[in-house]
Amino acid sequence: MSDPTRQIGELRTQIDEVDDRILELLNQRARFNAEIGKLKASEDQAAFVPGRELDIFERLAAKNAGPFPSAAIRQVFREIISASIAVQRRVSVAYLGPRATYSHQAAIQQFGRMAELISSATIAEIFERVESESAEFGVVPVENSNEGIVSLTLDLFVDSPLTICAEIHVAIHHDLLSKEKSLSQIRDVYSHPQGLAQCRRWLDLNLRGARQHPTHSTASAAELVADRPAAAAIASPLAADLYGLQALGSSIEDNRDNTTRFLVIGRTPSTRSDRDITSILFSIKRDLSGALYRALEPFAQNGVNLTRIESRPTRERAWEYVFFCDFEGNSEDPAVARAIEELRRRCDFLKVLGSYPQASGGE
Q: Catalytic site residues?
A: 260, 262
Question: How far apart are alpha carbons 322 and 350 in whole angstroms?
Answer: 9
Closest CA to 253 of 213, 210, 201: 201
Identify whether the C-beta of residue 94 lies closer than 8 Å to the C-beta of residue 129. Answer: yes
Identify whether the C-beta of residue 133 lies closer than 8 Å to the C-beta of residue 267. Answer: yes
The interaxial angle of helices 334-346 and 291-301, nearest 10 deg, is 160
Identify whether the C-beta of residue 298 lies closer than 8 Å to the C-beta of residue 305. Answer: no
DSSP per residue, 45-65: --S--HHHHHHHHHHHHHH--
Question: How far apart are alpha carbons 21 and 15 in whole angstroms?
Answer: 10
Question: How far apart are alpha carbons 113 and 78 in whole angstroms?
Answer: 9
Q: What are the φ and ψ backbone dihedral angles of 173, each rounded to 5 degrees?
A: -120, 125
Phi-psi region of 257 (alpha: psi -120 to 50; beta: other; left: phi over 0): alpha
Biggest alpha carbon–alpha carbon distance for the chain: 90
Cα distances from 191 to residues 42, 98, 143, 303, in angstroms, run: 49, 14, 21, 46
- CB within 8 A of 336, min separation 6: which ones? 278, 302, 304, 327, 329, 330
Around Cβ 307, how many Cβ atoms within 10 Å? 13
